[in-house]
Amino acid sequence: MKLYSHAPFVRGGERTPRARMSFLFAALTGIGVLSLYYNGPRLLVLTAISLCMAAAFDLLVCLLAGQRLRVTSESMLQAVLLTLFCPATVHLLLPAVGVAVMMILKQLLRMFFRQAPHISCLCAGWCFLAFCFPANFFTYAKPGVEGWPPIAMTVAVEKVASPTELLRGDAIASDFSVIDVLLGNLAGPMGACGAVVLIACIAFLCFHYRTALRTAVGAVLAVTVCALLFPRVPQELLLSVLFEVCGGSLLLCAAFALQVPGAVPLTHGGQWMLGIVWGLLTVVGRRVLPIEQAAPLALLLLTPFNFGFDLLRGQLLRGWRKFRLLGRKSV
Amino acid sequence: MLFFQKQGIVSIPQELPRDLTVRALPAPQTATLPLRVGGQARFCAPADRQLSLGTRLVAGEDGFGIYSPFDGMLGDLSRIRHPLLGEVPAAAVLVDACVQPPTAQTVALEQKPTEQEIVNAARVCGIIDETDGMRLDEKLLALRKKGVALLVGDACEDQPGCFAALCVLRQYGAQAELGLQLACLATGAQQGFFVRFGDADERFDTLPLQTQVHALGCQYPALPERRVQQESKQPFGSIGVQALAALYRALAFREPQLGLAVSIGGEILDMPRCYFVPFGTALSHAVQACGIHYPSYTCVSGGALRGTKVSDAMPMSIGVTGVYVQENAPEPAAKPCFGCGACANVCPQNLLPIHIMKSRRRGHKMKLKLLHPEDCIGCGACSYVCPSGIDLTRFVRLAAQDAAKEAVR
Ligand code: SF4
Ligand code: SF4
């Protein structure tokens, strides 16, 4: 067999990792500004603490390994995202604790398996906070800066149900209108505000690179179809579908968590498969588990199967090609 | 009629130079003529070592011939390490004059040749199919044995900077068409047509040919064989256009194959051009003829996506129809993969190049089996699109080599 030496000698103008990261941070700024409008300066303080924690870990690892000191953009991205998954009323140090868990896990995985998928670490950090501090992590209040001093460790607020929690009742009686859900004036994680802005972020990112669009669309489609076929509040079908799709961090994950390197399978076919399975698992999680924010958990469970989705797609295509060429001879 | 669907993944519009003539190359001062026959052969140069155009140098035991493309004096015989052919015997020649591009005229054959006559002509004139380096006489016999119904004249060079087949189709289209008819006769194929890379282009669409020329579009890799296979239910074979034109000349004018049309392309050349290069001419001679002012440059034989880096001292031989010349800049270091998936989505074989690379590096044999690296066709599309600059093609080919070795064991 002929072995090709250094091909190719010309390169396509694909976006470099750095360019992709810069687009991602630009999109994050968009949602950050909206969240700042609703949640006030506490968001900035929480984000700053998380970023400091991530940077400190990166530097510590470099020091211990005797490498040049540097802070990776992936760690920064993960820290910001984990903070955006928290409500604005969260304990001031809680996101930083989640970041610490995430960074420790990353190093352990690197040590034992030589690889640490960023998305798994992020979802694991989320799960740690969700399962160890559920009271604080899932206490949502109506957005508003009043009574949320930016640097107070804890904030006492009146708990308000998030849109997906409202679906547990027989009828949807809430303080939120459809406009509130779309524009972000609702209870929930800091980053999950404003479905319109999140969709705009997805569109912006897809315009620049198309990696995760299929997964996002697949998941939203799966959730929508399930919500239409098996509505939780049949009397208010459309509101029920809207809450199902726009609530529970699904869009936040679709917009940002999927953009974390390694979050989705490599191939387009695999990405569709992941999206659909992720959507279905999210629906199942919401209805079976008492957790409304099932999207990150479902993503964590599915990430190890990304390679499997790619492989399955490859095998299906191989089979299809063989089937098409059946009986056709070449020389 | 066949209809070719749009296929291929990377869009590579072929920027063809204005001048699509197959030009004559000035005679080099010296040459090193590779003498590979593929079987038992006898060296039969004249005793006085004086060469003229078409002097027979080697006679295979089955009649296959290699002829001198030069007027001049025969020098020493030696064995050389050719970057593409491996170790081959070669003859040094002190050149006075070299062969000119063949005439494009066509004449009616006196009588319709038989299959055997066609195969014999291909053998005696030493014609090689430039697309796969196979002897044309052997290929015709193999195609006949397999019972092909369809014969494809392959003018499909989908590599950036390669355009020799298109030049040949334009200049020697009539000869290639007659050659295709002869090849159909020799193989028993009932139908023949040409395929070429690129979109509609009046320079090729208005050629006065009766045979259809299918344009396969600008999506790389063009994979003409696979597409014919998908569109046609009949068994088929393909032969390069240069070999077809040479086959016609062999029967019409008894003209042996003394060189090939070679495109020399690349952005650093003043005039990318197609030259008729006599076998044995050093590559540097053709590159200099295109005008190049760089003290050091890199030559890639076979095109910018699938090619092999070669020294410019390489004597030209069968199978080299396109050379891509680029600046001799150091290759930028590859960055770590960040999982964008471009390589997997671009692969025409639906492989997962980055997983193949990682599995090979980590020695995961079971996983490698599932990934089928042996299906790789070496198109280079994965390396072309990788934003991290990882040479995935190389790793996939290495994994395929490992798999082949494992299978033999
Ligand atoms: S793996 Fe092989 S077939 Fe697939 S794109 Fe790379 S070189 Fe081409
Ligand atoms: S194209 Fe390059 S960076 Fe992207 S997944 Fe493949 S190897 Fe990794």
> pLDDT per residue over B310-352, tens digit each?
888 999 988 789 999 988 877 777 888 888 888 998 898 889 9
B233 or A313, higher pLDDT: A313
For B207-231, the pLDDT digits (tens) are 888 998 988 888 888 888 888 877 7
- A44 pLDDT band, cuts 50/70/90, is very high
Q: If 0-12 CB within 10 Å is exposed, 13-18 middle and 19+ buried, where does residue B106 land? A: middle
Picking from A47-61, A110-124, A153-167, A169-183, which range would have the lowest pLDDT averaged per residue?
A169-183
Residues of chain A above pLDDT 90, percent: 28
For B103-148, the pLDDT digits (tens) are 999 998 888 899 999 999 999 999 999 998 899 999 999 999 999 9
* B405 three-class SS: helix
Which residue in chain A has the smallest CA separation from B239?
A331
Nearest Cα residue to atom 1 of ligand 2: B386
Distance, in Å, from the CA atom of A268 to the CA atom of B382, rounded to the nearest integer, reads 15
CA distance A9 to chain B (A): 5
Looking at the predicted structure, is the pLDDT value of residue B355 above 70? yes
CB contact under 8 A, B345 and A16: no
* B59 three-class SS: strand
CA distance A102 to chain B (A): 19
CB contact under 8 A, B350 and A318: yes
**Residues in chain A closer than 8 A to B335 (CB atoms):** 16-17
Nearest Cα residue to atom 5 of ligand 1: B347
| Res B279: pLDDT | 94
- B4 pLDDT band, cuts 50/70/90, is very low
Q: Which amino acid is residue B108, in one-letter code? A: A
B101, B276 Cβ separation under 8 angstroms: yes
Domains of chain A: 2-309 (1.10.3430)
| Res A279: pLDDT | 95
For A231-287, the pLDDT digits (tens) are 888 888 888 888 888 887 889 888 888 888 778 899 999 999 999 999 999 999 888
- A175 pLDDT band, cuts 50/70/90, is low
Distance in Å, CA B356 to ligand 2 centroid: 12
Closest atom of ligand 2 to CA, residue B392:
7
Q: What is the distance in angstroms between the CA of the first residue and the CA of the last residue of chain B? A: 46
Distance in Å, CA B7 to ligand 1 centroid: 15
Nearest Cα residue to atom 2 of ligand 2: B386
Average pLDDT over residues B36-65: 85
Average pLDDT over residues A13-32: 81
- Average of per-residue pLDDT values in chain B: 88
Picking from A81-95, B11-25, B70-84, B254-268, which range would have the lowest pLDDT averaged per residue?
B11-25
The answer, yes or no, to whether any atom of ligand 1 lies below 6 A from the CB of B400, is: no
Looking at the predicted structure, is the pLDDT value of residue A18 above 80? no
Looking at the predicted structure, is the pLDDT value of residue A74 above 70? yes
Average pLDDT over residues A19-38: 87
Q: Is the CB of A259 inside 8 Å of chain B's CB atoms?
A: no
| Res A137: pLDDT | 87
| Res A8: pLDDT | 67
- Which of B9, B184, B350 is the best residue to mutate to test the A interface, defined by the most A CB atoms within 10 Å of its own CB? B350
B89, B35 Cβ separation under 8 angstroms: yes
Average pLDDT over residues B27-35: 92
| Res B9: pLDDT | 61
CB contact under 8 A, A1 and B401: yes
Angle at which helix A118-132 crosses helix A73-84, to 10 degrees, equals 30
Closest atom of ligand 1 to CA, residue B343:
5
**Can you give chain A as a three-state secondary structure string?**
CCCCCCCCCCCCCCCCHHHHHHHHHHHHHHHHHHHHHHHCCHHHHHHHHHHHHHHHHHHHHHHHHCCCCCCCHHHHHHHHHHHHCCCCCCCCCHHHHHHHHHHHHHHHHHHHHCCCCHHHHHHHHHHHHHHHCHHHHCCCCCCCCCCCCCCCCCCCCCCCCCHHHHCCCCCCCCCCCHHHHHHCCCCCCHHHCCHHHHHHHHHHHHHHCCCCHHHHHHHHHHHHHHHHHCCCCHHHHHHHHHHHHHCCCHHHHHHCHHHCCCCCCCCHHHHHHHHHHHHHHHHHHHHHCCCCCHHHHHHHHHHHHHHHHHHHHHHHHHHHHHHHCCCCCCC
Q: Is the CB of A25 inside 8 Å of chain B's CB atoms?
A: no
The DSSP bridge partners found for residue B50 are B73
The answer, yes or no, to whether any atom of ligand 1 lies below 6 A from the CB of B393, is: yes
**Residues in chain A closer than 8 A to B228 (CB atoms):** 330
CA distance B235 to chain A (A): 5
Distance in Å, CA B348 to ligand 1 centroid: 7
| Res B28: pLDDT | 93
Q: Which amino acid is residue B334, in one-letter code? A: A
Looking at the predicted structure, is the pLDDT value of residue A296 above 80? yes
Looking at the predicted structure, is the pLDDT value of residue A210 above 70? no
Looking at the predicted structure, is the pLDDT value of residue B281 above 60? yes
Closest atom of ligand 2 to CA, residue B341:
5
| Res B133: pLDDT | 87
Average pLDDT over residues B239-259: 95
A39, A88 Cβ separation under 8 angstroms: yes
Average pLDDT over residues B259-268: 90
**A:B CB pairs within 8 Å:** 148
Picking from A161-165, B325-329, B373-377, which range would have the lowest pLDDT averaged per residue?
A161-165
| Res B83: pLDDT | 83
Distance, in Å, from the CA atom of B146 to the CA atom of B235, rounded to the nearest integer, reads 8
Structure tokens at B375: 């299906």
The answer, yes or no, to whether any atom of ligand 1 lies below 6 A from the CB of B347, is: yes
Distance in Å, CA A318 to ligand 2 centroid: 22
Distance, in Å, from the CA atom of A292 to the CA atom of A298, rounded to the nearest integer, reads 11
Nearest to A331 among B148, B326, B338 (CB): B148
Mutate to test the pocket of ligand 2, among B352, B358, B386 (most ligand atoms within 8 A of CB): B386
HSE-CB for A11 with a 13 A CA cutoff: 17
| CA-to-CA separations, A237 to A301, B56, B336, in angstroms, rounded | 29, 88, 47
B23, B261 Cβ separation under 8 angstroms: no
B86, B24 Cβ separation under 8 angstroms: no
Looking at the predicted structure, is the pLDDT value of residue A170 above 70? no
The answer, yes or no, to whether any atom of ligand 1 lies below 6 A from the CB of B399, is: no
- A166 pLDDT band, cuts 50/70/90, is confident
CA distance B395 to chain A (A): 10
The answer, yes or no, to whether any atom of ligand 2 lies below 6 A from the CB of B388, is: yes
